[in-house]
Amino acid sequence: MADVNIAPSQDGPYMVSGPVTLSDVDGREIPHSDQMALCRCGHSNNKPFCDATHLTIDFDGTLKNEQHPSRIVSLYRW
Ligand code: FES
């Protein structure tokens, strides 16, 4: 299996590396490099990529399951 890694950074974006395909809501592929930072704060002006806006908005990137260990990781299914 290809070596793909997705990890949240401290109060910042998801850091993604490896051979992944990134698509928009219409299924069109979004070009990107093998390493990219995906916005986690929701305020980037270049979504889905991070543009460092999180540094200006006092973004708290604490993972929910760190605050509430019993919380289900995700309810989203596809
Ligand atoms: S995480 Fe960097 S702009 Fe949103």
CB 48 within 8 A of CB 28: no
Q: Which two tokens stand for residue 35?
A: 């390493």
Is the per-residue pLDDT at 6 higher than 90? Answer: yes
Structural domain tally of the chain?
Answer: 1
User: So what's the pLDDT on residue 19?
Assistant: 93
Alpha carbon of 48 to ligand 1 centroid (Å): 9
User: So what's the pLDDT on residue 63?
Assistant: 78
DSSP three-state, residue 5: strand
Give the DSSP H or E segment for 65. helix 64-67
User: So what's the pLDDT on residue 49?
Assistant: 97
User: So what's the pLDDT on residue 69?
Assistant: 67
CATH code (residue 44): 3.40.5.90
Q: What sign has the CA pseudo-torsion 37, 43, 47, 48?
A: positive
Alpha carbon of 63 to ligand 1 centroid (Å): 15
Question: pTM of the prediction?
Answer: 0.82
What is the domain range of residue 26?
Answer: 1-78
User: So what's the pLDDT on residue 66?
Assistant: 65
pLDDT tens digits, one per residue of 31-72: 999 899 999 999 999 999 999 999 999 999 987 666 666 766
For residues 59, 13, 50 and 57, what is the CA-based torsion angle, rounded to 10 degrees?
Answer: 10
